[in-house]
Each structure stands twice: as C-alpha cells, then as structure tokens.
Amino acid sequence: MTVALAISGLQKTYANGFRALQGIDLEVQQGDFFALLGPNGAGKSTVIRILCSLTAKTAGSVRIFGADIDRNFPLAKSFIGVAPQEFNASLFETPMQVVLNQAGYYGIRRAVAAARAEEDFARLGLWGKRNEQCRTLSGGMKRRLMIARALVHRPRILILDEPTAGLDVELRRLMWRFMTDINRSGTTLILTTHYLEEAESLCRSIAIIHHGELVVNTATRELLGRVDLETLVLELAAPLAALPPSRFQLRRVDATTLEVDVRRETLLNAVFAELEQSGIRVTGMRNKTSRLESLFMGLVQGSEDATRAAAAALSAAAGD
C-alpha cells in the first residue's frame, strides 16, 4: 500500500509562544477516506495549513506521495487540494473565473480547466451560477465552489475542512455522495468535521488530535470496537406508567420512551425478551448518541485527565 501522506514529529509553536502541535506522527494510505477529528483549537487546522504551506512548521517533516514539502514543494503541492472551511475567493469574480485562475496557478491550460470546471460544476449543482459574481452565492454554493476549486488540478489527496458545516440535510447528503464518489475514483480524502456520525459513516480511518497531540489514529472499525457501553432509545407501542423490575439499566424518559444502557457483550435479544415478558412492546429503536461521539468524549476527557495528572506530578516534583 502506498503512503499518501507521511507526517513525522510535526511541531508548531506560534510567535506568541502557543504550542499548537507537540509532535504529530501520522500516516494516511493512498485511497483512504480519513477523518481528522478534535475539539476546537486542538490543532487540526494547523496541520492542514502546514500541509498546504500556509503555516510554517517549527519542526518535523511532511511528505506527500514521497515529495517533501520543503525540498520538493512544487511537486508536493501539485498532489494536494484543499477546500477550506471559510470562503476565500474574490467576491467579485465568478465561480468560473475562480476555478480557471486556480487551475492556472497549477499550470493547467485554460481549455483543459474549463472542461474540468464544467464537469465539476454540473456534479456539484453549480452550473447555473458559474457566471454570477461570488458575492451573490449562498453559503452552500460557496462551500461547493471551494470543493470545485480544490479539485480542478485533480489532486491525489483532497482535504475537506468542515465541508458540511451549516448545510441543510439535502445539501449534506449531496456532499456525502460527492465525497464518496471522489474517494471511489481513487482520490485520498482527508476530512475534518464536527459531525461525528459523518466521520463514523464515511471514513475508514480516524485520527483524533487534542491539545496538539495525536490521541488516536486507527481504523474506524477498530475504534468503534472499543465502544463498551451504548445507550439505546426505545419507542413504545403503548404508554408505560412505571418501570418494571429489570436486570438491565432501564430509564423512563416519558410515557412512551425508554432508555437502556447496553454493554457490548449483552445480547439485545435478552433485553427484548425481558421487555416482552413485562408486556412492553417496542416499535422503534435508535442510539442515543453516535458510538464515535461516546468514544470521542471519553478519549478527549481521558487526554485532559492525563494532562492534568502530568501537570500535578510536575508541580509536585517541583515542590519536592
């Protein structure tokens, strides 16, 4: 398997002394659909900005398909496309001008770029707006334009920074389909998102950054396998006055809704059998939170506890 992105010992300390990255080691395989997650301020954007040369790293190395971003930056840059979260094109240009100019900066002839733009605009539902000034586009259109722009030089790695933030359900589904298609066509995708169910359902690998450190970097399936306890929400066929005695952790949310905590080894059949015995009939069931969300909170909390413990140990040692 070819390594698409290899990050080693990546550190970033800003001029004000803030250490945004404390030594990240990360590999993304070619063709992967990779999620880079973390709370706000964790360092995800710093990593992305370093990858595309908008931020200078303090230490470490980055290779994109083997090309070092310091020593062979034109080649490394040609491999990567970035759709930022915030719109960063000229408001007075048209989507077509934005995409053609971007292609030009990558050395792509205008005729080739125009054909690609036509194809991508059609797929992203932007064709009708291609000659309108960008300032007239809606938020969702601007987001899609960022993706079309990032794709025009046909990068081997596409980085999407919060591509679905603030989009309505229909647009979000369009984006999901589009991302999946792009990935299936062979492009390695790196996605940052705050919608954890999005990462859970789309991505094959997940890395979580917290306080500038890599907390997790593994396959999504392996990560979800770590979920030990899930809370299921059960919709009841008839109102329930009081909870029946149960060996499971049942909670009554309202007359027709129950919650039950289920451990990984627990058979759901046993839960349903007991409810059946108590005359409770279930018409629907869903997870209260996404499995990834539960894990994410646990990992982030665990990382903070570890940081606090280390700080306490350091200050105790200093006190000695």
Partner 1 sequence: MRVQLIALATIVRKEVTRFLRIWTQALVPAVITTTLYFVIFGNLIGRRIGEMGGFPYIDFIVPGLILMSVITASYANVSSSFFSAKFQDFIEEILVSPTTNLVIIVGYVTGGVARGLCVGVLVTLVSLLFTELRVHNFMVLASTVFLTAVLFSLAGMINAIYARTFDDIALAPTFILTPLTYLGGVFYSIRLLPDFWQGVSLANPILYMINAFRYGFLGVSDISLWSSYALIFGAIIFLAWFCLYLLNRGHGIRT
Which is closer to partner 1, CB of 36 or CB of 89?
A: 89
Binding-residue pattern over the window 34 to 53 for partner 1, x denoting contact by CB under 8 A = ---------------x--xx
Residue 58 touching partner 1 (CB under 8 A): no
Which is closer to partner 1, CB of 14 or CB of 312?
A: 14
- State how far the Cα of 290 lies from the Cα of 194, in Å rounded to an integer: 12
Strand ranges, E, within the chain: 3-13, 19-29, 33-37, 59-64, 67-68, 80-83, 157-161, 188-192, 205-210, 213-219, 229-236, 249-254, 257-263, 282-287
Shortest distance, position 83 Cβ to partner 1, whole Å: 11
- State how far the Cα of 187 lies from the Cα of 79, in Å rounded to an integer: 10
- With contacts defined by CB under 8 A, name the span among 24-32, 86-94, 189-197, 236-244 that binds partner 1: 86-94
If we measure between CA atoms, which residue out of 38, 132, 44 comes closest to residue 82? 44
Residue 236 touching partner 1 (CB under 8 A): no
Burial pattern 263-300, b for ≥16 Cβ within 10 A else e, equals eeeeeeeebeebbeeeebeeeeeeeeebbbbbbbeebb
Which is closer to partner 1, CB of 146 or CB of 199?
A: 146
**From candidates 104, 180, 197, 246, binder to partner 1 by CB under 8 A:** 104
Which is closer to partner 1, CB of 113 or CB of 207?
A: 113
Give, in order, the Cα–Cα distances in Å from 26 to each of 64, 162, 208, 218.
Answer: 12, 20, 11, 10
**From candidates 28, 31, 78, 217, binder to partner 1 by CB under 8 A:** 78
Which is closer to partner 1, CB of 107 or CB of 239?
A: 107
Residue 285 touching partner 1 (CB under 8 A): no
How does DSSP classify residue 91? T
- Apex CA 49: angle with CA 46 and CA 50, to 5°? 85
Shortest distance, position 117 Cβ to partner 1, whole Å: 14
| Six-digit token string for 209 | 């950054």
Residue 106 touching partner 1 (CB under 8 A): yes
| Six-digit token string for 137 | 């586009």
**From candidates 4, 10, 89, 223, binder to partner 1 by CB under 8 A:** 89
Shortest distance, position 200 Cβ to partner 1, whole Å: 29
Paired sense of beta strands 3-13 and 157-161, if any: unpaired
**From candidates 9, 18, 105, 249, binder to partner 1 by CB under 8 A:** 105
- State how far the Cα of 37 lies from the Cα of 30, in Å rounded to an integer: 19
Site for partner 1, residues 5 to 34, rule: CB under 8 A: 14
Look at the block and give the residue holding tokens 């334009």.
145
Number of residues that bind partner 1 (CB under 8 A): 34
Give, in order, the Cα–Cα distances in Å from 128 to each of 88, 98, 122.
Answer: 21, 15, 9
Shortest distance, position 108 Cβ to partner 1, whole Å: 7
Residue 92 touching partner 1 (CB under 8 A): yes
Site for partner 1, residues 144 to 203, rule: CB under 8 A: 149, 153
- With contacts defined by CB under 8 A, name the span among 2-10, 33-41, 92-100, 247-255 that binds partner 1: 92-100
Residue 90 touching partner 1 (CB under 8 A): yes
Judged by DSSP in three states, 283 sits in: strand
Provide φ and ψ at 52, rounded to 5°. -105, 25
Binding residues (CB under 8 A) for partner 1: these are 14, 49, 52-56, 73-75, 77-78, 80, 82, 84, 86, 88-92, 97-98, 100-102, 104-109, 149, 153
